[in-house]
A and B are shown apart, each in its own frame.
Chain A
Amino acid sequence: MASPQFLSSPAQTGSRPRLVVIGNGMAPGRALERLFEAAPDAYEVTIFNAEPRVNYDRIMLSPLLSGEKSFDEIVIHGDGWYVKHGVTLYKGAKIAAIDRAARTVTSDGGIVAGYDKLIIATGSVPIVIPVPGHDLPGVLTYRDLDDVQGMILAAQSRGRAVVIGGGLLGLEAAAGLNSRGMDVSVVHLMPTLMERQLDPAAGGLLKGALEARGIRVFTGANTKAIVGEARVSGVELAGGRVLPADLVVMAVGIRPNAALAQAAGLTVQRGIVVDDSMRTSDPGIFALGECAECAGQVYGLVAPLYEMANVVAAHLIGPTPARFQPSAVATKLKVTGINLFSAGDFSVGPGRQDAVLTDPASGVYRRVVLEDNRVAGCVFYGDTANSSWFFDLIRSRADISAIRETLIFGPSYGALDDAPAAVAASALRAA
């Protein structure tokens, strides 16, 4: 790991309260943006980033893997941004401990920083299923730039890859490796792909589309072991079948990275427990992002994390009614040629109604789930037009009864006129 770099050292005024941020992902990045917009000089800000780099768009790692984007293209805050806002950024500096009594943090490189306010944004860690062979060389997770670089390297051999996990990340990894010329299989425990984001119909269409590009998909498949001697050579499924592999990517989920907070004595359950103003059990310490647990929920998609960022920024500035209200989340699979979008809650149940538009010949499936004349969720496959409009409808809980008839076709239809064509025609009759 690279040694800590001292990037910028703005003039110390000594009079401003100190804000220390642990983690430099998308959520704290957004919180700082909001803070600087509203109160540019309120804090003296110091960031500790365990990764040796600036804030980049983690969502865009898949295009990076597939080769459609370069790292420069996915950087959110370049070095200049930190200079401009007078932020002290320690790259490759992982915080080892928080001393709440002394109000300091200490990095594993020995940097000590005092804080008046602290934000913990340590994110998540990928889950590694503890099957035999999980620690063999050639078994990767899919979390950060380093993982992507590892995969790109492995793909140069054009060998065989097995991706364990048919969720969003796993499928993006599979598609990326496939596009880099690897022979890819996906092993998924559940009966359909992306079951948390897609209903079985859309999952089926997705499976067909992946298979059409040469990716083998094994659903309902339990990984029993990862086999290999010096390095990985295959994945053994519960039935005994062995899929040969030169590379295994585990993408079966993430868990909040709360170890540091726990060590500091903050309340931690699945994640770092925060209230709806994103304060931890220590009121001087905020937590946000994938590491935070609010009202029993943890979050992994960017939209709610940005909501958290807004709340944290507001509270840093002063007393505010801003509260984190978890809202619907949207998913878009970033695989070129596969258009897929899902958002909100699309489970079936009493009071739930479906509007479904299908074009099997074109591989199109659009489903909007309605509840009480509001859009509860939607799943679009093949044609994701107007998905942001639907996402807005889900979050705004707007009444759509006036536009229900053309809702699924998008916003450009408007509400129905009271006067249908036939009535207009009748105005002529016997005129």
Chain B
Amino acid sequence: MGAAVRTTCPYCGVGCGVIATPLPDGTTGIKGDAAHPANKGRLCSKGSALGETLALDDRLLHPMVMGERASWNGALDLVAQRFSQAIAQYGPDAVAIYGSGQLLTEDYYVANKLMKGFIGSANMDTNSRLCMASSVAGHKRAFGADTVPGTYEDLEHADLVVLVGSNLAWCHPVLFQRLETAKAQRGTRVVVIDPRRTATCEIADQHLALAPGSDVALFNGLLVHLAQAGRLDRTYIEAHTEGLEAAFIAADAASLGEVAKVTGLDGAEVAAFYERFAATERTVTVYSQGVNQSSAGTDKVNAIINCHLATGRIGKPGMGPFSVTGQPNAMGGREVGGLANMLAAHMDLTDPEHRRIVGSFWGARRIAQSPGYKATDLFRAVGEGRIKALWIMATNPADSLPEADSVVRALKTCPFVVVSDAIAQTDTSVHAHVLLPAAAWGEKDGTVTNSERRISRQRAFLPAPGEAKPDWWIVSEVAKRMGFGAAFDYAGAGVIFAEHARLSGHENAGSRDFDISAHGGIDQAGYDGLEPFQWPQRAGEAAHDTRFFADGGYFTATKRAQFVATPYRPPASATSEAYPLVLNTGRIRDQWHTMTRTAKSARLMSHINEPFAELSPLDAAAKGIKTGDLVEVSSPTGRVVVRADVSERQRRGSVFVPMHWTDQLASGARINTAVESVIDPVSGQPELKHSPATIDKFAALWHGLLVTADKPRGLAADYWALTPVKAGWRTELAWREAPEDWGTFASSLLGAHGVGAQLVAYRDEGGCQHRFAAFEGERLTGALFISSSFAGIVRGWAADQLAASFANGSDRLRVLAGRPSAGGIDPGPTVCACFDVGLNQIVAAITTGGCLTVEAVGAALKAGTNCGSCRSEVKRLIDQSAVAKAG
């Protein structure tokens, strides 16, 4: 057994400490790090399943050039040569790097340095543009720097936590649990502001299901109410802020009646929220993608910050606006300047003094002079032929950017595309000329910064497989080959971190928020043993928990916080007769981004295994759509085919589709193809949560379920969605027209070969059922269930048969029943991913086992007793059963 290694989770921005222990059987034990301040030992379902995502079967293990395996030297030479050539011929702005909040700070730092200090272009943007660019812009407008004022503990010290556009329960589960625990202990009030009734609402005292995109109006109204209620902190405003008047003028239109009209909320609900906010000194407003991913994202951020500035509730225990980021190192990326409008170490590209500081520190050959292309503009430039060489690192823009099909077209036309990634095949990498194998989580060293400015080490506990290399090494090698050797001669991640730390303190003297120069002289041993710390930690300071702005100290020219006038603007694109619905996108509990990692865990995939569209009962009824139907969600730019989930949780007029699915796992579920590319004018962040769309029933005549021991290939179906299961794969299928003969289709799909591998078959043509099973010896190698209806087959049971033994002939037949006989138990879809507890088991424990609390269910089934991510779902099931009884 290898030594236990303390590292940091690679998923969301909470940044939990993880203890990873390589085990003798080749697997890795994963548990939460009790000593890490972010999670204190907790992990969510995704983090707990990290050990299940480390298999190498889909990894990129060798450099590839034009689809052929190449040597590192050959590939690096080619990249350097093509980049140099493009720069020589077309200038530095003809090349670009598109990075990722998944990169470690050290990787990010080196890439940014190469682009902005040596190539001389600021065409270095990343997927963080999709995540929190509006928060960055909002922070900078208000504070003069991209500063998160508070800490996670503020959620525990607060008496009121307002969650705006944040499904904390699913997207930041450990932070949600900290809040839940605080609520249980001290009665914290929780208000959720979200068009959808998400899992987070389970702990809400109030849920304001406002109209999509109307947040600014709501917070403008709050600002007016605070003034009217005499709740302004005149002393703080006087001492540390400016611009309140202009903000008031902009907000003045927001009478309660007007707010109610714009937000679609009941005036009394709004008033109740305003009064609660006004009356509660210790208030934290947490916001996330529902705020940021908007054409008015920056205004939303500022409208929120305005209310905190006006009440002086900032930077004090239990108070403050709090941006929670989506990615593990979105903050680290911001710190190194890894966005097209930033320079480095929270310095500005447009500030000549900052350019001088950074340029001199780096010994830069050619420092970028003006902002580069932001993400959506970058790919537009690629599509228009202005970018001749593009390097994509650790991200999947073919799926994650709006109007994703135009991104694909752009990639196809780009003369030279490099992708460095851990995964062999993604929807982006298939368009690359050069693929460079990157080391993955668990194999590489570096640091990440979480949403409370806490920098933690990610440490390797596995050898890098094949020829995979850390990203900083790959970038440095290319930089050397481009002639910038001296500036990129790094021996390891620790040296880069030290340089980054020194730059943060270089000519700073308190003028800039980001300063970790205490670590400027860190050596390898110090880096190896680096404990999580919050920035700033200036030279000579010991690590300590920090907050900003309780006593002013803003980073604006006047050292005063700026109120920003935020007149309400509706979302950029209005719905129309043809596209009457608002398409909202987002995350689900057990998946991460484009699923390259989380989809490797059967446990995580069993929570929700298919792409879906959540729509309201009224909208569904209008189109004759029922839960389980396939539906087509389309906009002028694209379409997806997904499963309908009709739910009261969804507002009328809105439809929610998860952002995760790619062409690797479904036939057509890349929802960003249908998202219009509209951006916030200040932050450049795309409006991913408000695209006009329409929904129609997808006229599937035939539905199929396929379970196979091996991953199926070449699925000839109008719809398919793949799910890994414990013993193989499960695939949902649908057809608009049947193939000529189901038997022939099944034989080729199930690969029935040889004597004794003949298919077991069931057909009932009148009943529209065709079912087939293939065996090898006593093992089921595949089964296909075709029907005119989606219902009937118990999916989990069918998939479990792949692991069963079929010594008995009659059991072979029973597979085709598609569900367990009365004696069998169907646990249902997984609710608790840690202990594999299904919905039906939990419902049984509640209804017949008398478990009436989340704790009782936990005691009976263990559900919710490890990571706790499912506790809100268990609670909802208990509530539902109580309602059912009362009814």
A residues at B contact (CB < 8 Å): 353-362, 364, 366, 370, 382-383, 385, 404-406, 408-410, 412-414, 416, 420-431
CB distance from B510 to the nearest CB of A (A): 45
Sample 28 A-B pairs with CB under 8 A, ordered by A number. A354-B764, A354-B765, A355-B763, A355-B764, A356-B763, A359-B760, A361-B756, A361-B760, A362-B809, A362-B812, A366-B813, A382-B809, A413-B819, A413-B821, A420-B790, A420-B791, A422-B791, A425-B609, A426-B627, A426-B646, A426-B647, A427-B839, A428-B829, A429-B608, A429-B645, A429-B647, A430-B198, A430-B649
Q: Is B831 in the interface zone, CB < 8 Å from A?
A: yes
Instruction: Note all chain B residues with C-beta closer than 8 A to A406.
Output: 817-819
Report the bound CA distance from A265 to B793 in whole Å.
64
A405 partner residues in chain B, CB cutoff 8 A:
764, 767, 769, 787, 792, 818
Question: Are the CB atoms of A412 and B823 closer together than 8 Å?
Answer: yes
Contacts of B880 in A (CB 8 A): 427
CA distance A431 to B840 in the complex (A): 16
Q: Would you list the 5 A-B pairs with minimal beta carbon distance, nearest first?
A: A353-B766, A420-B791, A355-B764, A425-B829, A412-B821
Main secondary structure of the interface of B (DSSP, over half): loop
Determine the residue in chain B with the shortest Cβ distance to A358: B761
Tell me which residues across on chain A come within 8 A of B649, comparing CB atoms: 430-431
Q: Is B607 an interface residue when CB atoms closer than 8 A count as contact? A: yes
Task: Fill in one digit per residue for B197-209: 1 if any A CB lies within 8 Å of its CB, else 0.
Answer: 1110010000000
What is the CB-to-nearest-CB distance from B268 to chain A, in angstroms, rounded to a whole number? 26
Task: List residues of chain A with CB within 8 A of the CB of B760.
Answer: 357-359, 361-362, 364
Given contacts A413-B822, A428-B607, A429-B612, contact A422 B643 (CB under 8 A): yes
Nearest neighbor of B167 in chain A, beta-carbon distance: A430
User: Given the complex, which residues of B lie within 8 Å of A431, measured CB to CB?
Assistant: 198-199, 202, 649, 872-873, 876
Complexed CA–CA distance, A348 and B409 (Å): 56
Asked whether any CB of chain A lies closer than 8 Å to the CB of B299, the reply is: no
Query: Given A356-B763, A383-B813, A420-B790, A412 and B822 touching (CB < 8 A)?
Result: yes
Residues of chain A lying within 8 A (CB to CB) of residue B814: 409
A425 touching B608 in the complex, CB below 8 Å, given contacts A409-B813, A412-B821:
yes
Name which of A361, A406, A416, A431 has the most chain B CB atoms within 10 A of its CB: A431
- Which partner residue on chain B sits nearest A404 by CB separation? B767
Q: How far is the CA of A382 from the CA of B813 in the complex (A)?
A: 11
A382 → B minimal CB distance (Å): 8
Chain B residues 828-875 with CB under 8 Å of chain A are: 828-829, 831, 839-840, 872-873
Contact B821 A408 (CB under 8 A): no
For B821, give the chain A residue with the smallest CB separation.
A412
Known pairs A430-B588, A431-B873 / 18 extra A-B pairs, C-beta < 8 Å: A353-B765, A356-B763, A357-B760, A358-B760, A358-B761, A359-B809, A362-B760, A404-B764, A405-B764, A406-B817, A420-B793, A421-B828, A421-B829, A424-B840, A425-B839, A426-B627, A428-B831, A430-B614
* Chain B neighbourhood of A357, CB < 8 A: 760-762, 813, 816
DSSP majority for the A interface?
mixed
A370 to B650: give the CA distance in the assembly, Å: 43
A-facing mask of B756-787, CB < 8 A → 1, else 0?
11101111111101000001000000000001
**Closest chain A residue, CB of each to CB of B629:** A422
In the bound complex, CA of A10 to CA of B787 (Å): 68
Q: Bound complex: CA of A356 vs CA of B795, how far in Å?
A: 22
Asked if B796 is an interface residue, CB under 8 A from chain A, the answer is yes
**Complex Cα distance A408/B810, Å?**
12
A425 to B607, CA, bound (A): 8
Closest chain B residue, CB of each to CB of A410? B821
Q: Are B791 and A416 in contact (CB under 8 A)?
A: yes
Q: Are A355 and B762 touching (Cβ within 8 A)?
A: yes
The smallest beta-carbon distance between A403 and chain B, in angstroms, is 11
Q: Tell me the complex Cα distance, A409–B196, Å.
A: 43
Please, which residues of chain A bring their CB within 8 A of the CB of B873? Answer: 428, 431
Q: Chain B residues near A354 (CB, 8 Å)?
A: 763-766
Name which residue of chain A comes closest to B789, CB basis. Answer: A420
Nearest CB in chain B to that of A360: its residue: B758
Interface hits, B630-655 → A, CB 8 Å: 643, 645-647, 649-650
In the complex, B385 has a CB within 8 A of chain A: no
Residue B656 interfacial (CB < 8 Å): yes
- With most chain A CB atoms within 10 A of its CB, the pick from B198, B608, B762, B828 is B762
Q: How far is the CB of B512 from chain A (nearest CB, A)?
A: 41
Known A353-B765, A428-B607, A429-B588: A364·B813 in contact at CB below 8 Å: yes
Cα A413 to Cα B645 in complex, Å, equals: 27
Cα distance, A409 to B762, chains bound together (Å): 10
Asked if B463 is at the interface (CB within 8 A of a chain A CB), the reply is no
Contacts of B91 on A, CB cut-off 8 Å?
A: none
Q: Mark B701-712, 1 if CB is under 8 A from A, else 0.
A: 000000000000
B26 within 8 A of A: no
Most buried by B among A360, A410, A428: A428
CA distance A396 to B790 in the complex (A): 31
**Is B826 part of the contact surface with A, judged by Cβ < 8 Å?**
yes
A424 touches B647 (CB 8 A): no
Q: Shortest beta-carbon distance, B702 to chain A, in Å?
A: 15
Min CB gap A386→B, angstroms: 10
Q: How far is the CA of A427 from the CA of B628 in the complex (A)?
A: 11
Q: In the complex the two chains form, is B813's CB within 8 Å of A429's CB? A: no
- Which single residue of chain A is at the shortest CB-CB distance from B796? A421
Binary CB contact string for chain B from 599 to 618 against chain A (1 if under 8 A, 0 otherwise): 00000000111101010000
- Chain A residues contacting B612 (CB-CB under 8 Å) are 426, 429
Distance between Cα atoms of A414 and B761 in the complex (Å): 21
Which of B607, B628, B767 lies in contact with A353, CB distance below 8 A? Answer: B767
CB-based contact B810/A430 at 8 Å: no
Chain A residues lying within 8 Å of B647, measured Cβ to Cβ, are 426, 429-430
A412 to B819, CA, bound (A): 11
Residues of A contacting B812 in the complex (Cβ-Cβ under 8 angstroms): 359, 362
Residue-wise, chain B 791-819 has the 8 Å CB interface mask toward A (1 for contact) of: 11111100000000000011011101111
Looking at the assembled complex, report how far the CB atom of A202 sits from the nearest CB atom of chain B, in whole angstroms. Answer: 15
CA distance A421 to B775 in the complex (A): 25
Interchain CA distance A430-B610 in the complex, whole Å? 13
- Bound-complex Cα distance A251 to B18 (A): 80
Q: How far is the CA of A383 from the CA of B762 in the complex (A)?
A: 14
**Cβ contacts under 8 Å, B794 to chain A:** 421
**Hey, which chain A residues are within 8 Å of B829, CB to CB?**
421, 424-425, 428
Closest chain B CB from A422 CB (angstroms): 5
For residue B826, which residues in chain A have a CB less than 8 angstroms away from its CB?
A: 421
Kindly list chain B residues whose C-beta atoms are within 8 Å of the C-beta of A414: 822
Contact A353 B792 (CB under 8 A): no
Contact between A359 and B813, CB atoms less than 8 A apart: yes
Contact A422 B817 (CB under 8 A): no
A424 CA / B627 CA spacing, docked (Å): 10
Q: Which residue of A lies closest to B760 (CB)?
A: A359
Residues of B within 8 A of A423 (CB): 627-628, 791
With contacts A355-B762, A383-B810, A416-B791 known, is A426 near B645, CB below 8 A? yes
* Interface residue from A385, A413, A428 paired with B810 (Cβ < 8 Å): A385
Residue of B nearest to A382 (CB): B809
In the assembled complex, the Cα of A430 lies from the Cα of B589 at a distance in Å of 8
**Complex: A385 Cα to B795 Cα, angstroms:** 25
- Complex interface: chain A residues within 8 A of B840 (CB): 424
Q: Whose C-beta in chain B lies nearest to the C-beta of A416?
A: B792
Distance A424 CA – B826 CA, assembled complex (angstroms):
12
**CA separation between A361 and B809, bound complex, in Å?**
9
Contact A370 B769 (CB under 8 A): no
> Judging by beta carbons under 8 Å apart, are A353 and B764 in contact?
yes
Measured between alpha carbons, how far is A431 from B823 in the docked complex, in Å?
31
Q: How far is the CB of B873 from chain A (nearest CB, A)?
A: 5
Q: Contacts A359-B760, A413-B822, A428-B873 known; A422 to B790 CB distance under 8 Å?
A: yes
Across-interface contacts of A409 in B (CB, < 8 A): 813-814, 816-817, 821
B762 touches A422 (CB 8 A): no
Beta-carbon contact of A426 and B628 below 8 Å: yes
Q: Which residues of A contact B821 (CB under 8 A)?
A: 409-410, 412-413
- Pair B795/A424 contact, Cβ less than 8 Å: no
Chain A residues within an 8 Å CB radius of B627: 422-423, 426
